[in-house]
Structure 1
Amino acid sequence: MPLPKGNVSFYRYDPFEAVAAVSCALFGVTFLWSTFMTIQKRAWVWIVQLVAIFMEVLGYADRIKSAGDPTNLNLYAVQFCVIILAPVLMAAAIYVVFGRIVVHVVPAQQRTMRLLWVPPRWITPIFVACDVVALVVQLIGAVMVSSTQATDKNAAKKLNTGKNMALAGLAIQIAAFGLFTIVAARFHFTSRQFVTNLQSRYEDAGSGGTVSVKGSPRKINPNWRRLLYAINISCVLVLIRSAFRVVEFAEGTDGAVMRQEWFMYVFDTLPIFLVACSLCFTFPGSYIPHMGFRVPKQPSDARELASQDGSIVGLREV
């Protein structure tokens, strides 16, 4: 794989500062929007998503400078690594929200492997752990690829090693997120069997668009399935982006993807921006009662009532 030499640009095309500026501005809007909603709803666990969006803002802000100085290795490496890694944190945020939805909707005695195909209590830890591994491996690969220069000793070997590391990280992410997407899509249909029981216990809460669940002190948003739609859409968009990055790394610097800038904006920037937007319009804190770092355990009286009729009336810790 040929490397830039001397004062040659690290890009295989002429990067457009204007497109990077528009991307930075759009992600900036979603960052402010998400921050406002996070504070308003006290959805502190959503800070993971805020960090991811801020990384996108930082990445495209740095890309503006990098486009104006394409021979600067530091500018190129920062924007490359940050934009590559931000979606990994978004995936982690999606895992957490889905875990909360399961606890919020499914009766405790029905949260089984048969229903979810993964241990219900370990949905978030298992997938987040895979995400952390994918993040670390991709980080190592991205740093090696973006920081390798033609004058480095064994430059070609370092570049190929970095490419393979990045591909391995992406493979881990796609495998884990692909399984999660199947689980989430399946749950979208199986959750219908709990809706009737849940709705039968709704009582008017009198404010905020929420309802109370009979026998429980908690309030919920009766339109919680909208959030499930947003999660499923986000899963598809993240998978599209991840598949694009696999193709990009597999082709190398001589491939068509790395020689045309529009590929990145269409198959990475746009899907990830739509993920950020969808989770702003359907902000999890507006649908899930508890988006703090810990979820209150199900009260004993609620647990007894749930065991009698199979209806969920409380929450357990994720």
Structure 2
Amino acid sequence: MPLPSHISFYKYDPSEAVAAVAAALFGIAFVWSTFMTIRKRAWIWIVQVLAIFMEVLGYADRIKSAGDPTNLNLYAVQFCVIILAPVLMAAAIYVVFGRIVVHVVPAQQRTTKLLWVPPRWITPIFVAFDVIALVVQLIGAILVSTTQATDKNAANKLNMGKNIAVAGLAIQIAAFGLFTIVAARFHFTSRQFEASLQSRYEDGGSGSAVFVKGSSRKINPNWRRLLYAINFSCGFVLIRSVFRVVEFAGGNNGAVMQQEWFMYVFDTLPIFLVVCSFCFMFPSSYIPHMSFRVPKHPSGARELESQDEPTIGLREVEN
């Protein structure tokens, strides 16, 4: 049975103008991120580019949905896409942190004691939880967004969809919360070997990548700046995830569902700040080899034999 034309899927009057601003801002970020990904050949960052594109698509669709709030298809697309995009962003953050560990932490200090997680399993473990959270949230989002008021057992379907979505968000919060603690702790514990690394730099010139004695890995002397982007982004993603849990838990009659500004303040803004963090501090400017596989012998390294230990040459990073 078709939904009556006077029934809106929103509990408020959605703004086309605000949705257009959000779409435009994410659109600019998408263009810049795509350009940098191609320029730096940071192919693993395609995950983040796809997530930003999903935000653009979601808010562009929301403009149409705001003009036709009784259209189920328009509402479902914007709802699902905006809900799921941050899950991909979390996966991108996991990958970047894993690459920092590989390229920065000396092999002898790359331990579970330092990171609380087996170093070689950092990315696989957290990405696996991210995929599970993505699938569960997708199922919940589809149930919620496609249930019409006139459907048989509509109330049960909505409750089931919300419970499933909350379960997916809970998985994401648990995994991402642990990761946030690990990343924040690493920001401080990394100082244990930072001084040692600096003393072994072939050249500590700003804006360049250096190789250190006894290592075959390239390091940007300013690599710690990327940790700030990771830690800030973790905080923003957690704020957004907690907001969504509160939103689903409150239901259609909850205060969060009744006001549109909640979504823009606690979802749109935090996620846009995540995107901006990595636009300003693009990962490939700080760590090498953002391709899908990390080479065993990074290109550009040339070992010079010495009596004590090999000294690896300096190579300028392309900006």
Whether the 8 Å contact between 1:105 and 1:194 is mirrored in structure 2 is no
Q: State the partner residue of 2:317.
A: none
Q: Hey, what's the Cα distance between the residues in 1 that align with 2:291 and 2:117?
A: 24
- Indicate whether 1:187 and 2:186 are aligned: yes
Correspondence list, 1:88-167, <5 A: 88-167=87-166
| 1:150 Cα deviation from its structure 2 partner | 1.5
| 1:153 Cα deviation from its structure 2 partner | 1.5
Whether the 8 Å contact between 2:144 and 2:157 is mirrored in structure 1 is yes
Alpha-carbon displacement from aligned partner over 1:6-51 (angstroms, at most 9, x marks no partner): 5311000000000000000000011111111111111000000001
- Indicate whether 1:293 and 2:286 are aligned: no
- 3-state SS, counterpart of residue 294 of structure 1: coil
Q: Hey, what's the Cα distance between the residues in 2 that align with 1:179 and 1:243?
A: 14
Q: Hey, what's the Cα distance between the residues in 1 that align with 2:6 and 2:75?
A: 13
CA RMSD of aligned residues (A): 2.3
- 3-state SS, counterpart of residue 202 of structure 2: strand
After superposition, the Cα gap between the structure-2 partners of 1:206 and 1:177, relative to the gap in structure 1 and judged at 3 Å, is closer
> Taking structure 2 as the reference length, what is the TM-score of the superposition?
0.90
Structure possessing the higher relative contact order (Cα contacts under 8 Å, 6 or more residues apart) = 1
Alpha-carbon displacement from aligned partner over 1:39-67 (angstroms, at most 9, x marks no partner): 11110000000010000000000000000
Q: Hey, what's the Cα distance between the residues in 2 that align with 1:225 and 1:288?
A: 10
Structure 1 runs not aligned, ≥5 long? 314-318
Q: State the partner residue of 1:316.
A: none
Q: State the partner residue of 2:56.
A: 57
Q: State the partner residue of 1:79.
A: 78
Q: State the partner residue of 1:256.
A: 255
After superposition, the Cα gap between the structure-2 partners of 1:115 and 1:208, relative to the gap in structure 1 and judged at 3 Å, is closer
| 1:213 Cα deviation from its structure 2 partner | 2.3
- 3-state SS, counterpart of residue 292 of structure 2: coil
Q: Hey, what's the Cα distance between the residues in 2 that align with 1:253 and 1:147?
A: 15
Q: State the partner residue of 1:199.
A: 198
Q: Hey, what's the Cα distance between the residues in 1 that align with 2:85 and 2:206?
A: 37
Whether the 8 Å contact between 2:137 and 2:166 is mirrored in structure 1 is yes
> Taking structure 1 as the reference length, what is the TM-score of the superposition?
0.91
Q: State the partner residue of 1:238.
A: 237
Alpha-carbon displacement from aligned partner over 1:90-131 (angstroms, at most 9, x marks no partner): 000000000000111111122111111111100000000000
Q: Hey, what's the Cα distance between the residues in 2 that align with 1:122 and 1:280?
A: 27
| 1:206 Cα deviation from its structure 2 partner | 8.2
Q: State the partner residue of 1:39.
A: 38
After superposition, the Cα gap between the structure-2 partners of 1:66 and 1:112, relative to the gap in structure 1 and judged at 3 Å, is same
Q: State the partner residue of 1:15.
A: 14
- 3-state SS, counterpart of residue 211 of structure 2: strand
Q: Hey, what's the Cα distance between the residues in 1 that align with 2:204 and 2:89?
A: 32
Q: Hey, what's the Cα distance between the residues in 2 that align with 1:141 and 1:216?
A: 48
Q: Hey, what's the Cα distance between the residues in 1 that align with 2:278 and 2:59?
A: 20
| 1:210 Cα deviation from its structure 2 partner | 2.4
| 1:251 Cα deviation from its structure 2 partner | 0.1
Whether the 8 Å contact between 2:23 and 2:59 is mirrored in structure 1 is yes
Whether the 8 Å contact between 2:204 and 2:221 is mirrored in structure 1 is no
Whether the 8 Å contact between 2:216 and 2:297 is mirrored in structure 1 is no
Q: State the partner residue of 1:270.
A: 269
Moved over 4 A (4+): 205-208, 215-218
Letter in 1 for 2:245: V
Q: Hey, what's the Cα distance between the residues in 1 that align with 2:203 and 2:188?
A: 26
Alpha-carbon displacement from aligned partner over 1:163-188 (angstroms, at most 9, x marks no partner): 00000000000000000000000000
- 3-state SS, counterpart of residue 295 of structure 1: coil
- 3-state SS, counterpart of residue 202 of structure 1: coil
Whether the 8 Å contact between 1:5 and 1:149 is mirrored in structure 2 is no
